[in-house]
């Protein structure tokens, strides 16, 4: 009896301790959760009830002096940083360029560039197999580590001698310099490839289903779209105020509760007229906002362009591997080692077969409903994707 009672006490103590532990964990998470929920509620309310971002133009417009100091003459602006490697002839062979694709890469990511050149980003194959003129350049800064820089530069120059597809400016290639890289991309378009009908900016770990992309762009071209910006749209995202977060933004830098709409930087497309206007406005706005996708949203807001969603552009997420998905996919994000395998699978003739008959279409709709509409840890494309005909 006595022993039993002692055991009972021990159990009780253990129970109290566990409860305490669980409670404190919940409280800790609660603070996190609370912060998350509150900032999102505020941000969505702002986006959907007020939806005015006029403050951006007035708060971020540079004074004429600052602008002059950074870019020189407005009509023939100098680049923000000098080019170390440039491609002056890339776009001069044709007036009929469907797409200029600017891949944001980094000095050490040569393997990713190689994968892209050998698969979806091979200009010669695109011309031969899809009869489309697509230009691809890799956009780089310099290695941030000064001790490795000269070796890194030698390798990049060697790589570029073979492929002639690298552009590089003299700024440190770091996460917090991505907006500098964005400005560089639109400068290069405006200066060296202004006739491209569409301009795409993409990460170097993206997969582009080039046959689908070309088909999609051709359908847009037929409609002569202008004022056009498409991708995976973020609406009413709040600035993240937690200092340990990669995307932390201080109140001084961005005091408002909500960002303007923008597309995920993983991969988005703009029409030529938008690219030209973004280039101009990027010289007028204060570019201290270092999250490049958000800065793009601010630029677009200032010129009155809003992004639109297309379900087969992915945001952060990686594709669901299935031929029925490949039949529609435009981009998928987060590919480094599987690019070759995926390219083979996604462009296999059997994928095209899938859209040929009523039964196969029915089958694919069912598969896509299972893959896209049921809750999964990561969804590339929304449930809409199951019902969107491409």
Q: Which phi and psi angles does 295 have, rounded to 5°?
A: -60, -40
Min separation Cβ 173 and ligand NAG, Å:
8
- Please identify, using beta-carbon distances, which residue of 260 and 315 lies nearer to ligand NAG: 260
Asked if 301 touches ligand NAG (CB under 6 A), the answer is: yes
Q: What is the DSSP string of 224-257?
A: T--S-EEESEE-SPPPB--TTSTTB--TTT--SS
- Please identify, using beta-carbon distances, which residue of 248 and 387 lies nearer to ligand NAG: 248
Asked if 53 touches ligand NAG (CB under 6 A), the answer is: yes
Asked if 19 touches ligand NAG (CB under 6 A), the answer is: no
Asked if 50 touches ligand NAG (CB under 6 A), the answer is: no
Q: Take residue 270 and report the two structure tokens written for it.
A: 């703009």
Confirm if 153 and 183 have CB atoms less than 8 A apart. Answer: no
In this chain, which of 49, 76, 162, 176 binds ligand NAG, going by CB under 6 A?
Answer: 176
Torsion angle in degrees (nearest 10) through CA of 326, 328, 332, 337:
20
Q: Take residue 228 and report the two structure tokens written for it.
A: 């056009």
Kindly write out the interface string for residues 352-381 of this chain, putting x where it contacts ligand NAG by CB under 6 A and - elsewhere. Answer: ------------------------------
203: β partners: 104
31-39: long-range pairs with CB below 8 Å, 24+? 35/241, 35/242, 39/238, 39/239, 39/240, 39/241, 39/257
- Please identify, using beta-carbon distances, which residue of 286 and 361 lies nearer to ligand NAG: 286
HEC profile for 17-33? HHHHHHHHHHHHHHHHH
Asked if 45 touches ligand NAG (CB under 6 A), the answer is: no
Min separation Cβ 102 and ligand NAG, Å:
19
Asked if 174 touches ligand NAG (CB under 6 A), the answer is: yes
Asked if 148 touches ligand NAG (CB under 6 A), the answer is: no
- Cα–Cα distance, 8 to 54 (Å, whole number): 66
Best CA proximity match to 103, nearest among 49, 168, 18:
168
- Please identify, using beta-carbon distances, which residue of 70 and 191 lies nearer to ligand NAG: 70
- Of 36-44, 240-248, 297-305, 380-388, the window that binds ligand NAG (rule: CB under 6 A) is 297-305
* Strand ordering across the sheet containing 229-231: 83-85, 166-172, 134-142, 99-104, 198-203, 267-271, 229-231, 308-309
Asked if 46 touches ligand NAG (CB under 6 A), the answer is: no
Min separation Cβ 308 and ligand NAG, Å:
16
Min separation Cβ 171 and ligand NAG, Å:
4
By the criterion CB under 6 A, which residues form the site for ligand NAG?
53-54, 57, 62, 66, 171-172, 174, 176-177, 252-253, 286, 288, 301-302, 304
């Amino acid at each position: 009896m006595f022993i039993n009672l002692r055991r009972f006490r021990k159990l009780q103590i253990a129970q109290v301790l566990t409860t305490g532990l669980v409670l404190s964990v919940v409280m800790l998470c609660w603070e996190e959760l609370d912060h998350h929920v509150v900032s999102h509620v505020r941000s969505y309310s702002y986006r959907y009830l007020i939806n005015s971002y006029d403050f951006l133009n007035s708060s971020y417009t540079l004074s004429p002096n600052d602008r002059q100091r950074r870019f020189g003459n407005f009509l023939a602006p100098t680049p923000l940083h000098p080019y170390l490697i440039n491609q002056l002839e890339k776009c001069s062979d044709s007036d009929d360029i469907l797409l200029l694709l600017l891949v944001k890469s980094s000095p050490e990511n040569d393997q990713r560039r190689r994968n892209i050149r050998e698969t979806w980003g091979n200009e010669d194959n695109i011309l031969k197999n899809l009869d489309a003129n697509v230009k691809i350049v890799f956009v780089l800064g310099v290695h941030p580590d000064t001790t490795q820089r000269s070796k890194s530069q030698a390798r990049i120059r060697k790589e570029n001698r073979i492929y002639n597809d690298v552009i590089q400016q003299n700024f440190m290639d770091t996460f917090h310099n991505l907006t500098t890289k964005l400005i560089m991309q639109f400068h290069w378009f405006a200066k060296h490839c202004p006739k491209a009908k569409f301009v795409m900016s993409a990460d170097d770990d993206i997969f582009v289903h080039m046959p689908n992309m070309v088909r999609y762009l051709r359908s847009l071209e037929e409609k002569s779209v202008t004022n056009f910006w498409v991708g995976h749209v973020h609406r009413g995202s709040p600035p993240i105020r937690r200092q340990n977060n990669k995307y932390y933004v201080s109140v001084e830098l961005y005091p408002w509760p909500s960002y303007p709409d923008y597309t995920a930087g993983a991969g988005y497309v703009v029409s030529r007229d938008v690219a030209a206007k973004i280039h101009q406005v990027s010289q007028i706005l204060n570019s201290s906002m270092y999250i490049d996708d958000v800065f793009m949203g601010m630029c677009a807001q200032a010129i009155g362009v809003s992004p639109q969603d297309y379900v087969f552009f992915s945001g952060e997420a990686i594709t669901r591997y299935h031929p029925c998905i490949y039949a529609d996919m435009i981009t998928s994000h987060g590919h480094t080692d599987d690019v070759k395998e995926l390219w083979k699978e996604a462009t296999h003739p059997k994928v095209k077969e899938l859209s040929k008959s009523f039964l196969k279409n029915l089958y694919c709709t069912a598969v896509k409903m299972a893959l896209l509409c049921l809750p999964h840890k990561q969804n590339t494309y929304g449930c809409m994707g199951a019902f969107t005909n491409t």
